[in-house]
Amino acid sequence: MSSRRRIALLTVLSIAGTLGLAQAQKYTTGEEVMNAVDAKPTPSNLITTMTMTITTASGQSLTRQMQVWSADDGNKEVVKFTAPADIKGSGFLSTTLPDGSKQSMIYLPALDRTRRIASGQQQESFFGSDFSYEDITDLQSGTNKKYDSKLLKTDPGPVYVVEATPRPGADTAYDKLVLQIPEATLIPTKIEFYRDGSLLKVMTIHKTVEVGGYTLPSDFEMKTVASGSTTTIQESDFQVQDSIPDEVFTERFLRR
Amino acid sequence: MRSLAAFAIRRSRLVIAGFAVLTLLLGAGLTRMKFDDSIESMYPVDAPLTVLEHQLEKTFGAGKLLVAVVEGDIYTPQALTDLSSLTTALQRIPGVERVTSVANATRMADDDGLLRIDKVVDPQHLAANDIAGIRDFLATSSLYGHGRLVNAQGTAASVLMQISSSGNPHAVVAAVREALAADWPGAAHLAGSPLFEVEMRSIALRDLPLLVGLAALLIVLMLYLNFRSFRGAFLPLLAVGIGGVWAVGAMGWLGAALTVLNVIGLVAILAVGSSFSLHLLGRYAYELATGRNKDDAIRLAASETGLGVLISGVAISAAMTTLVLSSIPTVRAMGLLTAAGVLAALVASLLLLPAILHLLPVPRRLPEHEGRAGSGRPLRGLTRFVIRRKRTILVVAVLLAAVGAIGATRIVPDTAVLNYFRKDSALRQSFDLVARVFGGTSQVEVQVKGDLTDPALLRAMLAFEHGVDAIPGVGASTSIADVIQTIHGALTGSAGLPDTPQAVAQELLVYQMSGNVSDITQLMTLDHSQGLIQITTSATSTESVQKMLHAIEGVAATTIGDRAQLGYTGPLLLQLAIQDALLHDFIVSLTLAIGLVVIIDSLVRSLAAALVTILALLVTIVLQYGVLGYLGLPLDLATMLLGTLAIGVGDYAIHLTVRYMEERRRGRPPEAAMEQSLMTSGRSIVFTALTLGAGFAAMITSNFVPIRTLGMLMDFTVVSIGVMSLTVLPAACLVFLRNPRPLRARKGEVSTHV
């Protein structure tokens, strides 16, 4: 084949490929993509086992295991630590009140004491990890309410690359997110978190599982760029529930 | 030497072309030259203290501490708001890993049964009672008390920044200064080890061209005074210029970096290299004056005087090479640069100089040569005095050495890096202010290996902190025990610590729920097996640091005992490692240098002659260190180098011994031989001392204290060696070397020598 013909064929194939990609692309704007992500059904009530490993830049690591009960789309939550032994039995209860405020309580078995704690620090670390409470909440409830979205590009797959910027008055620690969302799952595989114009953290979702008709992320990692620390969370033993009894979200259950 | 001289004359153009090509090739390496301004280059790399410091830095992410102190009425809404803006601005600077100030400090508090973990300062709530609450909290907090963040008077606040060790301290410090100017309306001061590097670079950028230029100028002046011609002044400069370009260029090609201490090396190359040419040109002029033709004069100068130059050049290089054994990178680099530069200048003097002289016409005017009127009269008087009072001179020399030795015992080592900078420098003044307001800018780091959830160990750590608080010069201490005590107080309302390891772990879990995990990992590893106690101190001198460390260890023994394994380090203590390394280097380098100079000197002359010469040098060195002791000058990075430099640089005294032995071999009795030697070589010795002194005098203008001190002491040394060479050495030769036996006879003795 002459080189001129080869170039012509490659050009045709390339144009055809681009057209094919454009035809396969279901969403044309960032808002459409994020609406589709939010519209994806998620279980309202869920019980899981979470294994969280924090690794510092110097290589120190700490693994904690906990059981998590989550109801009413995350408005009620109980976390009970099962490992390591020195914190086994410690628990955390969080409920959202009708006025939108949160009420939190901790239980420390070694002190045999429960304490109400002030909440509202959504942007602070989730049990000393690289995740913040906001990151965890947004994973469950989505980001669409807080952010305006713009489609930056569409990679082969197709994978949508969406830039999300906070809406005025939104309670968030970030001034920009860049999400990579495969059309096939509509679950972000990578999220970059920016603050003050600099890349602060990068979250990667490595694995999803099919549970009760839902596709849920089960294996994810957050890396803090400046400190070099990383936290991985692996979720297992998913139990999608129609409902979780109210008595789970009480001080008595916390102490049990 | 004769073949070398013949080659330089026969192939003069080839030799000049070869030097030009080599200088261009090696000179290209100058463009690849890097500058190492890191403070680590001043520390012994393998010392246990250094190793532990790096280990703790890696484990706890300690980085380098930069402290900003801002002055003003801190307990006002405006000042606290400004501090918040400043803290945010500093946190955004790349390379700043962690910022701690009153603006981002957190507190755990019981609020009517509700446990609150929030910021000490909320810019939205800064009414009078809020500010009073902040003041009360800072006065009583076990974490932030002791005036850690705001001084007791409320007139100054500190902002502590952990700077990434891998970051660029220059960019960070510049950005921090910019932020302070933009976000703080009052006076602001900076202290901390990153500033050392910034200051060292600034000094080096000023000193390298200035000192080397000034040394060159002064040396040229001395050479002109000696030769009374531009040729005599600039030909030596060409030889040492080539030496410098070769040595620095080779460093560039090899990827080595210049350090501020290399200024000493460059000045030494200039001074010592010039003295090689001085001897050769002096002999050349003398031979011309006695009627020899140009090429014969060159040949005699290069072969006869050249031999002495070769030996002293190799001896200096060998002496400086001994510094390669140092564990301090900057000392090693300085030793290598000087050795290489001196060798290169030696090669240029022995090969290039004869080639150039061959191509140049005979000078119309010849300088006053030795033995003629002018310097002749005082030298004759000196000769008579030495011959008449040789034993008295030796007794005085022994007495001087004894007095010097007594003075040397008074030397106190001081290797505090802060003292490398002038007392009136902005850096020192800033450090002094920060030390006055906040009790110090330096930290002692105590590594605690044990079960950090063990309440008994935590209680012992608190007792230790309390104990060290009473040691003079010691300020606030922080450890994980303080954090746990704070959490426990807020959670239970009672002072003290939890009773069980489980309770400790669970209370830390609570803190991590809303606190920053780095608050804990900067003081304790996540597996609770290793902790860090940070002790602020205002001690600076090595002696006071030594005493303080001893006192801290004493408190640790009675409070922590064997509950944990302890290790001590920190930038402040690293000066103890420097001290140990310097003492080791001092002994090893000086001993080796003396040994090498004796061996090299004796290879072609005689062992006895070498020993007599080195004896005169040793008297000078003992006297030198005695002066150090009497003047209260410490043994530091520069004064440690003094002995080795003096042995190398001072080997020009051997020229007198050589001349004396030649006269003895020609059958003159000892006294007459010495008279002839002093009359002919005295002028060269005087001008060598003046040339060397002029070169080292340039170092007195340095802003880097060790270089300035070394400059002053080297001037004292070269003058002393000059005096010793003209008094003690002749007296020693007349007493101990009356019948020298050379190891091998020299071929072709000539009737006249310089």
pLDDT along chain A (256 residues), means of 10: 47 43 72 89 91 87 93 89 94 85 87 79 74 76 77 91 89 89 91 88 93 90 88 94 92 91
- Looking at residue B287, its pLDDT comes to 82
Nearest CA-CA distance, residue B234 and chain A, Å: 56
Nearest CA-CA distance, residue A87 and chain B, Å: 5
Of B506, B517, B527, the CB nearest to A128: B517
d(CA A162, CA B493): 49
Confidence of residue B468 (pLDDT cuts 50, 70, 90): very high
Q: Does B514 touch chain A (CB under 8 A)?
A: yes
Q: Does B509 touch chain A (CB under 8 A)?
A: yes
Average pLDDT over every residue of B478-493:
88
- Fold adopted by A27-255: outer membrane lipoprotein receptor (LolB), chain A (2.50.20)
Is A108 in Cβ contact with B491 (below 8 Å)?
A: yes
State yes or no: pLDDT of B132 exceeds 60: yes
**Omega before A158 within 30 of 0, i.e. cis:** yes
Tens of pLDDT, residue by residue over B581-637, are: 888 888 887 788 778 777 777 765 677 788 888 888 888 888 888 888 898 888 887
Tens of pLDDT, residue by residue over B144-187, are: 877 788 988 899 999 988 887 777 888 999 999 999 999 999 89
Question: Can you say how many angstroms the Cα of residue A83 is from the centroid of all Cα atoms in its chain?
Answer: 23
At residue A240, the 3 state secondary structure works out as strand
d(CA B266, CA B243): 10
Q: Does B153 touch chain A (CB under 8 A)?
A: no
| CB of B728 closer than 8 Å to CB of B249 | no
DSSP B704: B
Which of A53, A54, A60, A94 best probes binding to B when mutated, by most B CB atoms within 10 angstroms?
Answer: A60
Of A86, A118, A229, the CB nearest to B116: A118
Query: Can you name the residues that pair with B712 across neighbouring β-strands?
Result: none
Which of A86, A134, A198 best probes binding to B when mutated, by most B CB atoms within 10 angstroms?
Answer: A86
Tens of pLDDT, residue by residue over A65-101, are: 999 999 988 889 999 999 999 999 999 998 888 877 7
Confidence of residue B376 (pLDDT cuts 50, 70, 90): low
Is B513 in Cβ contact with A117 (below 8 Å)?
A: yes
User: CB atoms < 10 A from the CB of B213, how many?
Assistant: 11
Of B115, B506, B518, the CB nearest to A227: B518
Q: Which of chain B's residues have a Cβ under 8 Å away from the Cβ of A113?
A: 491-492
DSSP B105: -
Nearest CA-CA distance, residue A251 and chain B, Å: 15
Is A115 in Cβ contact with B115 (below 8 Å)?
A: yes
Tens of pLDDT, residue by residue over B563-581, are: 999 999 987 888 888 888 8
State yes or no: pLDDT of B96 exceeds 80: yes
CA dihedral over B100, B102, B103, B106, signed as positive or negative: positive
State yes or no: pLDDT of B340 exceeds 50: yes
Q: Which two tokens stand for residue B65?
A: 């501490």
Nearest CA-CA distance, residue B503 and chain A, Å: 5
Q: Which two tokens stand for residue B308?
A: 């002495």
Q: Which residues contact B105 (CB under 8 A, 6 or more apart)?
A: B119, B120, B121, B143, B144, B149
Task: Give the residue among A132, A102, A99, A138 at the shortest CA–CA distance from A118.
Answer: A102
Is B59 in Cβ contact with A108 (below 8 Å)?
A: no
d(CA A88, CA A66): 9
ipTM of the modeled complex: 0.84
Q: Which residues contact B30 (CB under 8 A, 6 or more apart)?
A: B245, B248, B249, B252
What are the sequence ranges of the domains in chain A?
Answer: 27-255
Task: Give the residue among B170, B92, B517, B96 at the shortest CA–CA distance from A199.
Answer: B92
Of B136-150, B193-207, B335-349, B506-520, least confident by mean pLDDT is B506-520
The helix (H) or strand (E) run that includes residue A90 is none
Residue showing tokens 């071929």: B747
State yes or no: pLDDT of B541 exceeds 90: no
Counting other chains too, the contacts that B184-189 makes at CB distance below 8 Å and 24 or more residues apart are B184/B70, B184/B72, B184/B82, B184/B83, B184/B86, B185/B72, B185/B82, B186/B70, B186/B71, B186/B72, B187/B70, B187/B71, B187/B72, B188/B68, B188/B69, B188/B70, B188/B71, B189/B68, B189/B69, B189/B71, B189/B430, B189/B433, B189/B434
d(CA B81, CA B67): 19
Is B512 in Cβ contact with A128 (below 8 Å)?
A: yes
Confidence of residue B656 (pLDDT cuts 50, 70, 90): confident
- Looking at residue B366, its pLDDT comes to 67
* 3-state helix/strand/coil string of B203-255: HHHHHHHHHHHHHHHHHHHHHHHHHCCHHHHHHHHHHHHHHHHHHHHHHHHHC
Q: Which two tokens stand for residue B496?
A: 């003290």
Question: Where in B484-624 does DSSP place strands (E)?
Answer: 530-537, 565-569
Q: Does B551 touch chain A (CB under 8 A)?
A: no
Is B521 in Cβ contact with A118 (below 8 Å)?
A: no
Q: Which of chain B's residues have a Cβ under 8 Å away from the Cβ of A110?
A: 498, 500, 502-503, 505-506
Is A58 in Cβ contact with B59 (below 8 Å)?
A: yes
Buried-state track A136-152, b at ≥16 Cβ within 10 A, e below 16: bebbeebbbebbebebe
| CB of B318 closer than 8 Å to CB of B581 | no
- Looking at residue B713, its pLDDT comes to 87
CA dihedral over B10, B220, B719, B628, signed as positive or negative: negative
Q: Which residues contact B682 (CB under 8 A, 6 or more apart)?
A: B370, B375, B379, B382, B726
DSSP B451: -
The percent of residues in chain B predicted with pLDDT above 70, rounded, is 94
Is A57 in Cβ contact with B521 (below 8 Å)?
A: no
The helix (H) or strand (E) run that includes residue B665 is helix B654-665
Q: Which two tokens stand for residue B221?
A: 């002046």
Query: Can you name the residues that pair with B99 across neighbouring β-strands?
Result: B161
> What residue ranges define each of the domains in chain B, with the CATH number in brackets?
2-41+228-418+576-736 (1.20.1640.10), 63-197 (3.30.70.100), 451-563 (no CATH)
Is A117 in Cβ contact with B97 (below 8 Å)?
A: no
Task: Give the residue among A197, A180, A198, A201 at the shortest CA–CA distance from A189.
Answer: A180
Q: Which CA distances in Å does A219 have to A123, B17, B690?
A: 22, 70, 77
Of B97, B111, B525, the CB nearest to A227: B97
DSSP B635: B
Residue type, B139: A
Question: Where in B255-342 does DSSP place strands (E)?
Answer: 257-258
Of A84, A118, A121, the CB nearest to B115: A118
- Looking at residue B20, its pLDDT comes to 92
d(CA B636, CA B625): 12
Nearest CA-CA distance, residue A215 and chain B, Å: 29
What angle, rounded to 10 degrees, do the helices at B194-227 and B670-697 form?
130
Residue type, B220: V
Of A109, A110, A116, the CB nearest to B114: A116
Which of A54, A55, A58 best probes binding to B when mutated, by most B CB atoms within 10 angstroms?
Answer: A58
Q: Which residues contact A4 (CB under 8 A, 6 or more apart)?
A: none
Which of B104, B106, B107, B510 best probes binding to A when mutated, by most A CB atoms within 10 angstroms?
Answer: B510
